[in-house]
């Protein structure tokens, strides 16, 4: 007979250390010869990103030992940090960005001799502002260069920055000489992606945009001719505009230009022929692209036989193979419900990163000849019995004006316990970051950490989320702090009204933009008994002036409105200006190295809360930036969050340190 226990008090084998060890996912897959390469998280190794290679015999190994950290800081969120090329006699050559100094390095892991030499720097260090940064590299097939995005700081302010496409010599001559780096684009645009060379090498395409637009608002595809000397000439706009978002561009084997555009209201795939005619290849009310948060995100890859691998879907995503001639789209078999925006092809093989509600992100290969899919890297393993995992429910709720709200509901679940018949479970609403983002339907051990203890979780894809078309995304235009707050509340209230959740034990949590939504919810409503605010935005006026990085420095123009036109709105919605309305306990978690949502905002917020009698806790983590990566941080943050809920909901737990709440 299964024992009875109160919700929230259940014992669970999913501890914080276990959840921390599985935090993060593989990214940036690529092929080097017949090998598959990618980056992978290493929380226990200082939170670094390792570069992994799967050799022809199936062996999976790290290309470089700690402390090498393959990660770019371009636009702070980074982007494609490496490129590789197979060579006939000397083995692969890889070029990568190293996080601590942001230099580009070249490395030959199979160099003949007693052992491979140390990686050699290709780019110099600059002491100006944030220095020199590099992303989205392409090793030129015919020149001894790597072409990539250069982000160069020209002064001390976060917005003292320029971005161009540049050519870096592979011989190391630019390692101490900035003048040896050739600039290829003209610097007219504030933001650029990496270059995409045509098959014949005579043309190059890239994406550009400018403030105050974000890349999901409007971007342009630029096309230039490449001279015999490797320079760009005659750059012109061939697609896109201020109200058309194009997040990816590429080429087919026959020289046609491909791009993803939301001109129809959905990110669909288009082809432009040599004569300039542009046609949709598979027009559907689905997304074949997504928000360009990281330079080099990839939702499609052409194959040599003319077919195109695509990631597509509404809400959830699938990997499909598209025949551009007939428009026929056939999805790969398998359990995966979410494909990350990274794809690589080699011959008839397509490689991506995918997850499901029962499996974490893993590297998956599709053989288009046979239709067979298999896991080839970072395979999911069940560290505990899968019976402890939650079973998500895909739900659609209705908010103000009867608008639809998409959410994933994870009821409490533990095979070793049942709850008393007369008790309803506590629930925590999770608000995702972005806010132009999406909560995927995948296995997350942080969610299982709570559900296996008897606390339900509801992930809300509130208005403004991606995956449901541009109209759904545009709901948040000038309504941030309103629509997101209302949608999260509508889901929580519906769960309580239908008898799924205890109305007196509701909480809300989120990080970054989700931290904003959490704080704004505590300010505007008494619905929640407590909240967990993680590296948040709390002061709109500060964030709109000099307290964030360049990429998002004008984001509030669309989310709130131009600050010089609606300054009162910034004060009306900022949680820091309404701390007197907060009546619920909260936990505030902050990375001290965060330049996106800086600790100064959290510290001012706490100063205004002092002496108000509201129980709260603040934990600041050294060495952490935007998004926690260190195993120790992840463990402490998760256990502190559980302690907050236990104290607020009246649950006895002795398996986590008690969070000290001050008033």
Kindly report, residue by residue over 601-649, the tens digit of the pLDDT: 999 999 999 999 999 999 999 999 999 999 999 999 999 999 999 999 9
Query: Residue 1: pLDDT above 90?
Result: no
Structure confidence at residue 114 as a pLDDT band (50, 70, 90): low
Structure tokens at 171: 């011989």
- DSSP 8-state assignment for residue 436: S
Element (H, E) at 271: strand 268-272
Distance CA 122, CA 119 (A): 9
Q: What is the DSSP letter of 185?
A: S
Residue 143 lies in a domain: no
pLDDT value of residue 652: 92
Could you give the number of structural domains in the chain? Answer: 1
pLDDT band at 594 (very low <50, low <70, confident <90, very high): very high
Pair of tokens at residue 15: 């501890």
On the 0-12 / 13-18 / 19+ scale of CB atoms within 10 A, 326 is exposed
Whether pLDDT at 312 is above 80: yes
Whether residue 594 is contained in a domain is answered as yes
Tens digit of pLDDT for each residue in 447-497? 999 999 999 999 999 999 999 999 999 999 999 999 999 999 999 999 999
Helix axes 513-524, 483-497, angle to 10 degrees: 70
Residue 268 included in any domain: no
Give the C-alpha separation, 517 to 514, whole Å: 5
Residue 506: the pLDDT is 98
d(CA 508, CA 582) in angstroms, rounded, equals 13
| CATH code, 401 | 3.40.50.1820
Q: What is the pLDDT of residue 227?
A: 97
Please give the Cα distance from 271 to 250 (Å, whole number): 10
pLDDT, residue 551, reads 97
Q: What is the pTM of this model?
A: 0.96
For the chain, give the percent of residues with pLDDT over 70: 99
* Burial call 276-309: b when 16+ CB within 10 Å, e when fewer: eeeeebbebebbbbbbbbbbbbbbbbbbeeebbb
- Print the domain residue range for 559: 386-649
Q: Please tell me the distance from the alpha carbon of residue 13 to that of residue 442, in angstroms, as a whole number.
A: 20
Q: How confident is the model at residue 273 (pLDDT cuts 50, 70, 90)?
A: confident
Instruction: Decide if 458 is inside a domain.
Output: yes
Pairing of strands 506-511, 586-591: unpaired
Residue 154 inside a domain? The answer is no
Residue 540 lies in a domain: yes
Query: Is 537 part of any domain?
Result: yes
pLDDT band, residue 115 (cuts 50/70/90): low
User: In sequence order, which residues have a C-beta less than 8 Å from that of residue 474 and are 6 or more positions away?
Assistant: none
pLDDT of 406 higher than 70: yes
- pLDDT 10s digits, 531-569: 999 999 999 999 998 899 999 999 999 999 999 999 999
- Is residue 264 predicted with pLDDT exceeding 80? yes
Q: Alpha carbon 529 to chain centroid distance? A: 29
Backbone angles phi, psi at 172, to 5 degrees: 85, 5
**Per-residue pLDDT at 87:** 87
And the tokens for 296?
């080099």
SS3 76: coil
Closest CA to 281 of 220, 309, 237, 322: 322
For residue 396, count CB atoms less than 10 angstroms from its CB and return exposed for 0-12, middle for 13-18, buried for 19 or more. Answer: exposed
Strands 456-461, 427-431: pairing kind: parallel
What's the whole-number average pLDDT of the chain? 96
Taken in order 354, 355, 356, 359, the sign of the CA dihedral is positive
Is position 164 within any domain? no
What is the C-alpha separation between 162 and 130, in angstroms, rounded? 11
Cα separation, 549 vs 160, in Å, equals 10
91: confidence class by pLDDT, cuts 50, 70, 90 = confident
């Amino acid at each position: 007979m299964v024992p009875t226990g109160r919700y929230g008090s259940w014992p669970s084998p999913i501890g914080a250390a276990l959840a921390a060890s599985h935090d993060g996912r593989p990214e940036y897959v690529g092929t080097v010869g017949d090998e598959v390469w990618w980056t992978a998280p290493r929380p226990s190794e200082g939170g670094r990103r390792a570069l992994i290679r799967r050799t022809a015999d199936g062996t999976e190994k790290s290309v470089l030992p700690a402390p090498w950290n393959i990660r770019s800081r371009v636009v702070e969120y980074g982007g494609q940090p490496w490129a590789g090329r197979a060579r006939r006699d000397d083995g692969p050559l890889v070029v990568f960005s190293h996080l601590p100094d942001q230099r580009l390095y070249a490395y030959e892991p199979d160099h003949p001799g007693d052992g491979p030499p140390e990686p050699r720097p290709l780019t110099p260090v600059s002491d100006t502002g944030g220095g020199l940064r590099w992303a989205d590299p392409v090793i030129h097939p015919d020149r001894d260069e790597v072409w990539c995005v250069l982000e160069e700081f020209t002064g001390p302010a976060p917005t003292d920055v320029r971005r161009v496409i540049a050519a870096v010599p592979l011989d190391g001559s630019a390692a101490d000489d900035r003048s040896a780096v050739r600039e290829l684009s003209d610097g007219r645009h504030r933001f650029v992606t990496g270059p995409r060379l045509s098959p014949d090498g005579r043309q190059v395409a890239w994406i550009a945009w400018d403030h105050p637009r974000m890349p999901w608002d409007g971007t342009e595809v630029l096309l230039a001719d490449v001279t015999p000397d490797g320079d760009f000439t005659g750059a012109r706009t061939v697609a896109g505009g201020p109200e058309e978002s194009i997040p990816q561009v590429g080429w087919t084997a026959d020289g046609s230009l491909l791009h993803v555009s939301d001109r129809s209201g959905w990110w669909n795939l288009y082809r432009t022929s040599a004569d300039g005619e542009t046609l949709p290849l598979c027009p559907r009310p689905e997304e074949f692209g997504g928000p360009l948060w990281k330079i080099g995100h990839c939702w499609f890859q052409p194959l040599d036989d003319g077919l195109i691998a695509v990631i597509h879907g509404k809400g959830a995503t699938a990997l499909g193979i598209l025949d551009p001639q007939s428009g026929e789209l056939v999805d790969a078999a398998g359990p995966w419900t979410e494909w990350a925006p990274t794809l690589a092809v080699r011959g008839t093989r397509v490689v991506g990163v995918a997850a499901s509600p029962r499996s974490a992100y893993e590297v998956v290969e599709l053989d288009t000849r046979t239709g067979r899919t298999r896991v080839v890297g970072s395979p999911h393993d069940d560290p505990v019995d899968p019976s402890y995992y939650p079973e998500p429910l895909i739900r659609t709720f209705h908010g103000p004006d009867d608008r639809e709200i998409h959410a994933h509901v994870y009821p409490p679940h533990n095979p070793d316990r049942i709850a008393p018949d007369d008790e309803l479970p506590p629930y925590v609403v999770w608000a995702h970051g972005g806010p132009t983002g999406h909560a995927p339907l995948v296995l997350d051990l942080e969610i299982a950490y709570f559900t296996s203890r008897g606390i339900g979780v509801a992930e809300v894809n509130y208005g403004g989320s991606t995956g449901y078309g541009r109209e759904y995304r545009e709901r948040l235009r000038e309504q941030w702090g309103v629509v997101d707050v209302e949608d999260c509340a509508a889901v929580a209230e519906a769960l309580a009204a239908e008898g799924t959740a205890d109305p007196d034990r509701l909480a809300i949590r989120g990080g970054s933009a989700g931290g904003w939504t959490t704080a704004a919810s505590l300010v505007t409503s008494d619905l929640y008994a407590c909240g967990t605010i993680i590296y948040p935005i709390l002061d709109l006026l500060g964030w709109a002036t000099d307290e964030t990085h360049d990429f998002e420095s004008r984001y509030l123009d669309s989310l709130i409105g131009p600050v010089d036109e609606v300054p009162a709105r910034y004060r009306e919605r900022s949680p820091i200006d309404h701390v007197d309305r907060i009546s619920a306990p909260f936990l505030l978690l902050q990375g001290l190295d965060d330049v996106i949502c800086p600790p100064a905002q959290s510290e001012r917020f706490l100063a205004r809360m002092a002496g108000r009698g509201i129980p709260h806790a603040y934990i600041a983590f050294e060495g952490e930036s935007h998004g926690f990566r260190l195993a120790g941080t992840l463990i402490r943050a998760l256990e502190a969050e559980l302690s907050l809920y236990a104290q607020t909901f009246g649950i006895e737990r002795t398996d986590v340190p008690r969070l000290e709440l001050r008033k």
